[in-house]
Structures are given as C-alpha cells and as structure tokens.
C-alpha cells in the first residue's frame, strides 16, 4: 500500500474515535511535555548555577593566611600572618606556570558616606586584574589601571548596592565618597552581579587601588599580606586547576621554609571544586526529574498499546474483510502500526508545544534563561515516534496474525 | 465428472484433487472434507449445496484461498495454491477471487465508494485509478448516485450490491457468494440473483454456496455435499432471474 493511502486510512480511523484518540494522546502529550520541560529547566538550573560561579571568578583559587595555633587552640583562618608580598610577587612573576592572573585582595568592613547618606560596606584593595578575574565590567565610568594600583590615588569603583544607598538621586560618577573619613572620587560603578554562590550580595562593595588600601585603610601588614587578606589566583585552563593547586602548595611551602612534617600555614580554597559539586547536585536532580518524566512517557505509551489492543479486537471483523479482499498480514500490521505511530507523533507535536510552554513558565518563574534546544525537541519527537512503534507493535502483530475465516465470523 | 464445456486446452479455472481438510477440535479430529475432486471451467455458474456440517463452508474457504487443504492439491488457473504462504495466498485472493457474504461485510461508517475501492488499495493502485474503477463497478451494480452513502444509509439489497461491486472491482475471474440472499427478502433476493446471473453472462465464474434449493435453482450446475464428500453433481437449466 502507498504511504499516503496508509496515512489517510490511519487518520480516518483515529478521527472516527475522536474522544478516545484524544484521551490516548493526552498520555503522550504529558509524557513528552514533562520530558521537555524537565530537560529544559534542568539545563536552565544548571546554567544558573554556573552563572553564579562564573560571576565569582574564572577558574579561581583563593589563597588565604592559615590559622594560628597557640597552646592547642586553633585561631581560625587568617589568625596568623604567613602570606608575604614576596609570595605574591613570585606568583605574579610566573613561578607557577599554569597560573594566568594573580592579585592580592585585601578586604575589610568600613563606614562610608556621600554628601547625603552613609552606609557600612566592604572595601576591597586590589590590582586591576581583579576585575578580569571576576569578569567584571563597569556599568558607568571606568576602572582604575595598573599605575593607579601602584601609586594609590584616592579613587573608588563602587558596586550597585553602594551606589543606590549613597547616590539615590544622581549619578555617582565624579562625586566624592568618604571612606574611613577620607575623601575618594568615584570613577566607576560596577555591573550588578547579584548574589554569590554563598549567598552574599556581591554588589555591596567598594574597590580601591591596592596602594590606597595599604596606606590608608590597613597599614598593619608590613611585609605580610594582612589578616583577612587573600591572593586571588586565576588558572589559565579549567583542566589545570588541580595541578595548579598542587604546584601552588609546593611553591608556597618552599617559600615559607616548611619541613615535611609541618602543616601548611596557608589555605587554598578551590571555587571550581565547589562549583563542580554544586553542578553535580543540580545535575543529579535534573536527571532524576527527567527519569520521572520518562516514566510518565512510558505510561503514555502503555496507554497507546492498551487502546490499540482494544481497537484490534473491536475491528476484528474489519481485519477479516480486509484480508478477504487481499490484504496481506504485513498490510494489516502496517495499518495498525501507522495508526499508533500517528497517535504518538501527533501527541508528540502537541507535547512539544506543551513542554515549551511549561519550560517557559518555569524559566520565568525561577528567573532562569530559557533553554529549548532544537536537538532536545527533535529527540523528544523521535522518542514519541519510537513509543508509537514500540507500543504499537504488539497490537499490530496480533492483528496481522488473525485468521481471516475466524475474523470474518467475529460478532461485535 | 460431466461438464458440457468444450474439452479444455488451457487448464481449468479450478481443479481440486483429493482434497481433505481435518481440524483438531479438543481431542477430536474433525474430517470436514474427505477427498474431494472437483473441476470448474471458466464462466461456470455453480451452486454448492449441503446441510450445515456438510463441509460446504470449508469447501468455500478452500476454494476462496482463505484456507488450505490438509491433503490433496488445488490448482487455481493452473497454479498450485495449496501450499502458499499467508501473504501469497492474500495476493491470490486479491487478484482471483471476489467475495460476497451473507452479512454483506461492508466497513461501517465508510462510504460505498470507499468500500468498493478498498481491494484496489492492496494491489497498489493509485487513488485516481481506484476511484475510476470503483465508479465503474458501482455503475455495473446499478448504484450510481449512491456512491457516497454509508452502509447504514443503504437498504439490505443495496448493501449487497455494494458488496458485489467490491467483488467485481479487481476484475477477479471468480465470485464466491456465500448465502448471498440469506439476509434479504424475496424481492431483493431476486434482484441480487439477477445481477449475479448477469455476471455469468459476462464470463465471470460465479460460485454460490447455499443450503436453499430455491437459490441453487439459479445455477447451471449443482454440487451437493454431505459429510465432507460430493454426493451429487448435476447440470440443470437455470432459473432465469431476468430483471
């Protein structure tokens, strides 16, 4: 039989039982729909998590001072000065080849004020490469450069939270900001980054040149990088992060003259690792959801099989007639297989639309980017077709195996 | 077996030799046919008679290639069809045999035209050609103008005429009619028999399967089966159901 004729026949047969066909299709629609929505939103959630960590810094290792132990009581991270400016300079000079960018990041809480408001926020003293590591662009104005970091002019780049708190009505650019009662000029406002992976407001910050910080905010360090001070290390290639961490440890231990038995007097935090574990847990949830959705698709497929079996029994007489006038077993099988295929495919298309709507709704509800990859859609459609064939096969084979004489005698 | 046709040079249309058909029913072996020999020439008008259980239904199923003999051979148009696969048998049915049933066996909720077109679908004939041939077959049974009626909108006689059109549409040389008037009143029975007799005049072989002598009277040759064997085979001057 010709393809077109077979298709027409299938549509006819399904149209004759509109309600039943529609109900059967619902199973497929919900199955495909949820699969699509789950894959799309899983992708969206994953991307959202990745975004958060990307905003915290690219391939970032954070080196901090270690903890001081006095009479067995640990003082906690940063209670001991161990990282020196020489360490930082050595890293910057390229002693660890896998590293791309290095900058000290000194940070403390300060009281700040504009002409008409004041605020308590973090002030960060660093080098301009900090902005590259954090992938941070100015929304307005400009960032300070390498010269500024070394000479320490009194300029400040502020986050959006600080900007709204202090300069509600006018542009902060060129305005004066008081940090620890010393006047600085606001030269730039940073793009908003929102919350960090740890839940901190990343926009509640003021960034000033390193020299300005060490000369005016915290002069305590001397040859050491003071207290809560950190060294941000950005690794060139994502794959080298572990290697870089090991190399970094070796170099720092050497510089600090630590013996084999000594503990590290510094700490290295691996943000990528943390991001990865977060990524993995979102992946796990996404996979779980997709599996549940796939289950509902299987249930839909069983619905198709059920209805096709009923249909074969109801139409036993018809099958007998068709066989009597020359339909081969293969013709009969094809007819029923195409019917279940059409049922599943139409359900698949509708399910695709349903899934897209669901994904769009979820994306806007959770503030994710909408992911609706064409490959997933194509895959879902193929899966729907597959469901039609797999679950239609058994009823179709049963139909084709009917004996024409018995089938003709069948009373409905 | 006497047949007054000219001794055939081409093979006879239907040639059955030593046909046996046994069924297993529970623990019993049922001998539906016990060695039947039968030859039917082209253009014959033949009635197969017998009580229920005589084997006439089995006979029709075998002759119509719906079933296969347990023993013996069946040559249809010179070709042995007694050992074919199901698919090959279906193909032979489609080309050689048109069925007319007591209960019409039209597809419900389907127009007369589509019912008549159906056999052609399985021969891979295109839609346009199907339509043309189906319309011609409908014209032959005098139903032109009603081709779009569904079975439920047609009388019994009309439904049976649609069934005859469906049997005719594939240009099959044999029409097997199983109690074709069983569900019809006397008047419409007469009309249907007239159509079937008309087909014989056009050279089509018509095999009537019936238990009613009234219907067998329209055939030229009457075969009587009893307990799976042919007990009588006679020629007669057929009753004319001229319209």
pLDDT tens-digit profile of B71-97? 999 999 999 999 999 999 999 999 999
Cβ B89 vs Cβ B65: under 8 Å = yes
Residue ranges, chain B, pLDDT below 50: none
Query: Is residue A315, in this structure, part of any structural domain at all?
Result: yes
Residues in B touching A328 (Cβ below 8 Å): 86-87, 90-91, 122
What sign results for the dihedral spanned by CA atoms A365, A366, A370, A372? negative
Task: Provide the pLDDT for residue B8.
Answer: 56
Does B5 contact chain A (CB < 8 Å)?
no
Cβ A371 vs Cβ A360: under 8 Å = no
Residues A38 and A184 in one domain: no
Give rounded-to-5 percent helix, strand, coil for chain B.
35, 30, 40
Does A3 contact chain B (CB < 8 Å)?
no
Tokens 């009923």 found at: A310
**How far lies A42's CA from each of A29, A34, A358, B230, in Å?**
19, 12, 13, 77
Cβ A339 vs Cβ A14: under 8 Å = yes
Q: Which of B122, B133, B151, B177 to mutate against chain A (most A CBs within 10 Å)?
A: B122
Residues A158 and A232 in one domain: yes
Contact A329 B105 (CB under 8 A): no
What is the end-to-end Cα distance of chain A in Å, rounded? 27
- End position of a domain, from candidates A242, A264, A286: A264
Query: Is residue A38, in this structure, part of any structural domain at all?
Result: yes
Q: Among A388, A380, A404, which residue's Cα sits nearest to residue A332? A: A404
Task: Provide the pLDDT for residue A70.
Answer: 58
Query: Is residue A145, in this structure, part of any structural domain at all?
Result: yes
Which chain B residue has its CA at the smallest distance from A8's CA?
Answer: B127
3-state secondary structure of A379: helix
Fold classified for B42-58+90-235: Rossmann fold (3.40.50)
Task: Provide the pLDDT for residue A408.
Answer: 93
Query: Is residue A254, in this structure, part of any structural domain at all?
Result: yes
Query: Is residue A375, in this structure, part of any structural domain at all?
Result: yes
> Model confidence over A116-170: pLDDT tens digits?
888 999 999 999 989 988 888 898 888 888 887 778 788 999 999 999 899 887 8
- End position of a domain, from candidates A234, A264, A294: A264
Task: Provide the pLDDT for residue B2.
Answer: 54
Residues A336 and A191 in one domain: no
B61 vs chain A: nearest CA distance in angstroms? 7
Cβ A184 vs Cβ A177: under 8 Å = yes
Q: Which of A11, A314, A325 to mutate against chain B (most B CBs within 10 Å)?
A: A325
Beta bridge partners of A118: A113
- End position of a domain, from candidates A264, A296, A326: A264
Report d(CA B90, CA B104) in Å as an integer: 20
3-state secondary structure of B105: coil
For residue B159, the Cα-to-chain-centroid distance in whole angstroms is 16
Packing angle, helices A18-56 and A374-400, rounded to 10: 150
Residues A248 and A101 in one domain: yes
pTM summary value: 0.74
Contact B94 A331 (CB under 8 A): no
Query: Is residue A161, in this structure, part of any structural domain at all?
Result: yes
Range of A394's domain? 3-52+277-409
Q: Is A286 left (phi over 0), alpha (psi -120 to 50) or beta?
A: alpha
Q: Which alpha helices (H) appear in chain B, and where do they start and end?
A: 56-63, 86-96, 112-121, 127-140, 156-168, 186-201, 213-216
Sort strands A67-70 and A138-141 into parallel, antiparallel or unpaired.
unpaired
Query: Is residue A150, in this structure, part of any structural domain at all?
Result: yes
Residues A193 and A107 in one domain: yes
Q: Among A234, A268, A266, A229, which residue's Cα sits nearest to residue A107? A: A229
Task: Provide the pLDDT for residue A73.
Answer: 62
Which chain A residue has its CA at the smallest distance from B109's CA?
Answer: A16
Q: Among A160, A140, A166, which residue's Cα sits nearest to residue A202? A: A160
Q: Is A144 left (phi over 0), alpha (psi -120 to 50) or beta?
A: beta
Query: Is residue A67, in this structure, part of any structural domain at all?
Result: no
Residues A209 and A259 in one domain: yes
Residues A124 and A242 in one domain: yes
Does A397 contact chain B (CB < 8 Å)?
no
Residues A281 and A253 in one domain: no
Residue ranges, chain A, pLDDT below 50: none
Residues A94 and A207 in one domain: yes
How many CB atoms neighbour CB A245 within 10 A? 21
Q: Among B102, B94, B45, which residue's Cα sits nearest to residue B66? A: B94
Task: Provide the pLDDT for residue A307.
Answer: 94
Q: Count the domains in chain A.
A: 2
Tokens 């909108």 found at: B153
Cβ B148 vs Cβ B134: under 8 Å = no
Task: Provide the pLDDT for residue A90.
Answer: 86
């Amino acid at each position: 039989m010709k393809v077109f004729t077979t298709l027409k026949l299938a549509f006819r047969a399904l149209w004759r039982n509109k309600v039943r066909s529609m109900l059967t299709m619902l199973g497929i629609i919900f199955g495909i729909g949820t699969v699509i929505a789950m894959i799309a939103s899983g992708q969206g959630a994953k991307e959202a998590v990745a975004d958060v960590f990307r905003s915290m810094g690219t391939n970032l290792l954070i080196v901090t001072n270690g903890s001081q132990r006095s009479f067995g009581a640990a003082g906690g991270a940063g209670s001991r000065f161990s990282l020196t400016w020489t360490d930082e300079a050595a890293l910057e000079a390229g002693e660890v080849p896998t590293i791309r960018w290095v900058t000290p990041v000194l940070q403390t809480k300060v009281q700040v004020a504009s002409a008409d408001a004041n605020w308590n926020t973090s002030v960060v003293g660093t080098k301009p490469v900090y902005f590259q590591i954090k992938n941070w662009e100015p929304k307005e104005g400009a960032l300070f450069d390498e010269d500024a970091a070394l000479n320490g002019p009194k300029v400040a780049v502020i986050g959006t939270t600080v900007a709204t708190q202090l300069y509600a009505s006018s542009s902060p650019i060129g305005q004066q900001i008081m940090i620890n009662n010393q006047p600085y000029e606001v030269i730039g406002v940073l793009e908003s980054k929102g919350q960090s992976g740890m839940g901190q407001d990343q926009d509640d910050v003021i960034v000033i040149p390193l020299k300005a910080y060490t000369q005016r905010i915290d002069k305590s360090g001397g040859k050491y990088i003071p207290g809560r001070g950190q060294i941000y290390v950005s690794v060139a290639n994502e794959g080298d992060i572990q290697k870089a961490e090991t190399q970094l440890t070796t170099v720092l231990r050497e510089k600090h003259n630590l013996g084999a038995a000594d503990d590290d007097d510094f700490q290295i935090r691996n943000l990528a690792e943390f991001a990865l574990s977060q990524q993995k847990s979102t992946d796990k949830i996404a996979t779980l959801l997709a599996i549940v959705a796939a289950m509902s698709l299987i249930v839909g497929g069983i619905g198709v099989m059920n209805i096709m079996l009923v249909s074969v029994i109801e139409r036993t007489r018809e099958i007998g007639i068709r066989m009597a006038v020359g339909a081969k077993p293969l013709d009969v099988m094809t007819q029923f297989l195409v019917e279940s295929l059409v049922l599943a495919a139409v359900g698949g298309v509708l399910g695709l639309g349903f899934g897209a709507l669901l994904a769009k709704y979820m994306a806007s509800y959770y503030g994710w980017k909408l992911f609706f990859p064409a490959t997933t859609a194509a895959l879902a459609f193929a899966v729907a077709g597959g469901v039609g064939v797999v679950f239609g096969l058994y009823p179709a084979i049963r139909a084709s195996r009917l004996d024409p004489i018995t089938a003709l005698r069948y009373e409905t | 077996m006497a047949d007054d046709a000219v001794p055939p040079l081409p093979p006879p249309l239907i040639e059955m030799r030593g046909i046996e058909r046994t069924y297993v029913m529970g623990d019993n072996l049922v001998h539906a046919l016990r060695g039947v020999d039968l030859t039917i020439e082209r253009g014959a008008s033949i009635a197969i008679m017998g009580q229920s259980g005589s084997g006439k239904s089995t006979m029709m199923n075998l002759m119509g290639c719906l079933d296969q003999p347990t023993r013996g051979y069946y040559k249809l148009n010179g070709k042995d069809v007694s050992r074919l696969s199901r698919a090959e048998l279906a193909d032979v049915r489609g080309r050689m045999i048109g069925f007319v049933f007591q209960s019409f066996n039209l597809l419900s909720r389907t127009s007369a035209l589509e019912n008549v077109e159906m056999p052609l679908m399985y021969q891979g004939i295109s839609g346009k050609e199907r339509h043309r041939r189906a319309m011609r077959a409908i014209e032959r049974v005098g139903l032109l103008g009603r081709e779009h009626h569904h079975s439920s909108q047609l009388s019994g006689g009309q439904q049976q005429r649609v069934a005859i059109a469906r049997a005719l549409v594939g240009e099959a040389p044999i029409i097997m009619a199983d109690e074709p008037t069983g569900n019809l009143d006397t008047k419409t029975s007469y009309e249907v028999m007239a159509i079937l007799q008309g087909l014989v005049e056009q050279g089509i072989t018509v095999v009537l399967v019936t238990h009613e002598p009234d219907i067998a009277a329209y055939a030229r040759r009457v075969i009587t089966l009893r307990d799976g064997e042919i007990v009588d085979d006679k020629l007669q001057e057929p009753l004319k159901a001229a319209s």
